[in-house]
């Protein structure tokens, strides 16, 4: 494969690792999630990942954000903002409008492997092994018989317990239907083995972490399915991929996309092990960075949020030494 052009802002002098065909990516559309992105990048470097994080930005991302990425040597790449022509009303969860653009990594064929991460994640342990996880070669899809792909992408399960009892969530999102519930009786295995996707009636993935071999053919199929049925997709990209590739995605153990709610008593605390989690996902509001007051003090109470606060403090201390003082 010929060398792709480096993303905008890439500089070997500023980056810890060399440019690679294997990359982490994260979507950024506004400044609200920029603290998360910067600390995510810091956490990848702290665990000595060999691979760069590329920020995939849309046209709504302001210049101040670009300047912040450049100051830290974080490569960036413009992508189109994706929305279906006729989509679902996400007034109850406006974040889902942005989530369609998380499908774009399937199209970025200048890379041979992408692991897409949400910006509200914190990497606690090296997980570079995801770059070597066996998936179908894109040629299998590009042959025209896409149905022959059995390992299209990898992801973690969604938790469908709805612990906050959000009334607009599907009625069948209950603990009995959750893949993680099936692992309560064997928590040690849950640290390294994912629940069977066939457990329960849903087989639903969480889009926070996706391991992808980009393919133009797959992306075309994804967009076609989005246009055909987006109005019925409660959770945007997650609904689409779970439906279109039902039974044909590789489930990952919870440790790679450890939804913070799994740790709560009454949800899936039975399987959670702090010392096994590789990557925590701060789903729902508030985000850890929303709990810092004007004096820079943490105002939250959730223990897992303190992990992010501590990592963010380490990042800011390092940036201060590097004379980066933009306030982010």
Can you list the positions of beta strands (E) in the chain? Answer: 22-28, 53-57, 76-78, 113-117, 121-123, 153-157, 205-212, 250-252, 258-259, 279-281
In the chain the first and final C-alpha atoms are separated, in Å, by 37
What sign does the dihedral 199-244-159-89 (CA atoms) show? negative
Residue 305 neighbours by CB under 8 Å, 6+ apart: 260, 282, 288, 291, 298
Domains and CATH numbers, the chain: 22-321 (3.90.550.10)
Q: Name the token pair of 214.
A: 């980009």
**Is the distance from CB of 61 to CB of 29 less than 8 angstroms?**
yes
User: What's the predicted TM-score (pTM) here?
Assistant: 0.92
* pLDDT by 10s per residue, the chain, length 328: 333 333 444 333 333 334 469 999 999 999 999 999 999 999 999 999 999 999 999 999 999 999 999 999 999 999 999 999 999 999 988 999 999 999 999 999 999 999 999 999 999 999 999 999 999 987 776 665 666 778 999 999 999 999 999 999 999 999 999 999 999 999 999 999 999 877 665 789 999 999 999 999 999 999 999 999 999 999 999 999 999 999 899 999 999 999 999 999 999 999 999 999 999 999 999 999 999 999 989 999 999 999 999 999 999 999 999 999 999 9
| H helices present in the chain, as ranges | 34-46, 63-71, 95-99, 138-142, 187-190, 216-229, 237-244, 303-321
pLDDT at 139: 76
């Amino acid at each position: 494969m010929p060398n792709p052009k480096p993303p905008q802002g890439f500089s070997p002098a500023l980056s810890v690792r060399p440019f690679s065909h294997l990359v982490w990516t994260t979507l950024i559309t506004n400044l609200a999630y920029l603290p998360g992105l910067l600390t995510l990048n810091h956490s990848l470097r702290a665990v000595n990942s060999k691979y760069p994080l590329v920020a995939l930005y849309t046209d709504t991302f302001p210049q101040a954000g670009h300047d912040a990425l450049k100051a830290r040597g974080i490569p960036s790449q413009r992508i189109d903002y994706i929305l279906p022509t006729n989509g679902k009303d996400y007034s109850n969860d406006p974040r889902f409008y942005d989530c369609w653009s998380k499908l774009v990594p399937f199209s970025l064929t200048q890379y041979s492997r992408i692991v897409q991460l949400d910006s509200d994640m914190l990497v606690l342990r090296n997980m570079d092994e995801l770059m070597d996880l066996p998936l179908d070669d894109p040629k299998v899809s590009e042959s025209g018989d896409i149905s022959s792909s059995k390992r299209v992408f990898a992801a973690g399960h969604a938790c469908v317990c709805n612990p906050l009892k959000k009334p607009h969530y599907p009625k069948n999102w209950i603990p009995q239907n959750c893949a993680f519930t099936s692992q309560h009786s064997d928590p040690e295995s849950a640290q390294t083995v994912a629940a069977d996707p066939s457990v329960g009636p849903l087989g639903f993935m969480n889009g926070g972490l996706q391991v992808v071999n980009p393919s133009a053919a797959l992306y075309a199929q994804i967009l076609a399915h989005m246009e055909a049925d987006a109005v019925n997709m409660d959770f945007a990209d997650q609904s689409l991929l779970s439906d279109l590739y039902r039974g044909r995605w590789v489930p990952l153990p919870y440790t790679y996309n450890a939804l913070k709610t799994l740790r709560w008593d009454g949800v899936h605390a039975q399987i959670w092990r702090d010392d096994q989690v590789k990557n925590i996902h701060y789903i729902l509001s508030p985000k850890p960075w929303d709990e810092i007051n004007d004096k820079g003090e943490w105002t939250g109470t959730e223990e897992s949020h303190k992990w992010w606060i501590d990592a963010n403090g380490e990042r800011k201390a390092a940036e201060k030494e590097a004379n980066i003082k933009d306030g982010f």
